[in-house]
A and B are shown apart, each in its own frame.
Chain A
Amino acid sequence: GENVEQHPSTLSVQEGDSAVIKCTYSDSASNYFPWYKQELGKRPQLIIDIRSNVGEKKDQRIAVTLNKTAKHFSLHITETQPEDSAVYFCAASSSSNAGGTSYGKLTFGQGTILTVHP
């Protein structure tokens, strides 16, 4: 099955700096990579996602890059703000059930605790 590794486990930055979180995946059938933000006691919220036919996607201060060959993808947050402080999870999923691989379920990384200091 799929295995997703996420680094770093904690990340501390000053307000206005950039933050980068990296993930690697193992299953070459994975073709969908969402990122979730989870604040303490709250639900995971989808903040950005990317499909394997795209190398990069940007939404305001957030961007995600994907390297299919190396099987890694990264989240980039620019001009960080204190309200960006949360736990961020990457995930991987496949939309194909070829070969019996189930599709649609998400395999998550271990999470990154991001702290943005004012």
Chain B
Amino acid sequence: EVVLTQSPGTLSLSPGERATLSCRASQSVRNDYLAWYQQKPGQAPRLLIYEASNRATGIPDRFRGSGSGTDFTLTIIRLEPEDFAVYHCQQYGIAPRSFGQGTKLEIK
């Protein structure tokens, strides 16, 4: 199974700042099939990014995905108040699919 390690566990920033979240895979993710999800308290996750760098429908362009192989990054440029949430990465290139443990983005 591909183990995904997200860092940091918690990130404290202020609105307007830039957030950089990391997701590292234990082996290369086939076809860069790496997705990012945002989850707010009491809600289901929402797909943000697929295939490492493609924004899902309706996702603002301040969300940027990058990386390939084993190292992936989600960057949120100019944080908005509604961006403070938990972010999960998921690989879907190698069965069984797996998720990282999540990064909590909190207001500083």
Q: Do A and B come from one complex?
A: no
